[in-house]
Amino acid sequence: MKIFLILCVILFTCACTQAGAESPPAEDNNTVYVKMDYMSLINSTPREYFELELGIWRRIHEERIRQGVTTAWYLYSVVPGDNTVPDLPYDYITVSVYDDYDMVFDDLSTEAIRIAYPGIDLEDLYAKSDEARVFVRSDLWKIVDVVSPYTDSKPVSEYISVNFFDSRDHSGEYMELETGFWAGNHQERIRRGNLNSEAVFLLVNPKGTERNYNYATIDYYDNLTQVRQPVDLDLAKSAHPDLTDDEIQDFFDRTPRARSVFKSELWRLVDYIESPKE
């Protein structure tokens, strides 16, 4: 069954093509922030985790969206066997979307918990949460580019491929390639029906070298058949008919000099909540 997502939709007021430098674009009122919390079920089962996340915390996420703290919330599972890292330290990822950087910190407030569950024992809630899943880490991102055919309707995506990159100590042209050559390739993939949408994420926190990556791209797919379609010279020639084969190959060759691939993972959407339509 197709599931509607809001994650790309809220980005369409952002410019979908940005010219060329490694430095990310300046902040503006349309900047979208995404917090990913990675969870491990090393000490529990999916059933126990769903009883917590969907049976208890879901109502709290709904309240946070009602208050305007977040604009959307998603729960993803890691698809086993389709990842470049065989033994991932996490099994599920919750994704919270914000349209205001300050709201990221407001999300730490217990107000939504107390409204969703008046009289709740917070220590008991946190203890049950710790029993049901192990919190691994969090990443805070901002979305810096989007390629999508959608304007006033929501994209549909059951699967996402999350690709983690490191552009530090490279050629310095990663965003130029991503928003130029590779954006054209993604548009051709969409035209062929091999891709739903694509977005580029810049890591905001943690800063420094704590992570082995500082960018990520997310490819949105309607089904697993799309996931396995190649991005090759034939596709690039259709995407860039004004370029020669040698020029296209040069772009392919420049890409690994602009960033290294840390890992790629395939996630499947389990559940989501979005803000009500206006």
Find the mean pLDDT for residues 51-80: 95
β-pairing, 72-78 vs 260-274, is antiparallel
pLDDT of amino acid 85: 62
pLDDT tens for residues 17-45? 333 334 444 556 679 999 999 999 999 99
pLDDT for res 22: 45
| Token pair listed for 251 | 């772009």
Q: In the structure, what pLDDT confidence band is assigned to residue 13 with cuts at 50, 70 and 90?
A: very low
Going by C-alpha positions, the residue among 255, 165, 168, 181 that lies closest to residue 217 is 165
**Rounded to whole angstroms, how far apart are CA atoms 88 and 134?**
13
Q: Which whole-number Å values give the CA distances from 268 to 32, 76, 158, 161, 222, in the listed order?
A: 22, 5, 6, 9, 10
Output helix, strand, coil percentages for the chain, rounded to the nearest 5.
30, 30, 40
CA triple 182-97-267, angle to 5 deg = 60
The domains of the chain, with CATH numbers, are 9-270 (3.30.70.100)
Collapse the DSSP code of 138 into the 3-class scheme (helix H, G, I; strand E, B; otherwise coil) and give the result: strand
The DSSP-derived string for 147-207 is E-S-SSS--B-SEEEEEEEE-TTS-S-HHHHHHTHHHHHHHHHHHTTS-SEEEEEEEEES-
Max Cα–Cα distance, the chain, nearest Å: 68
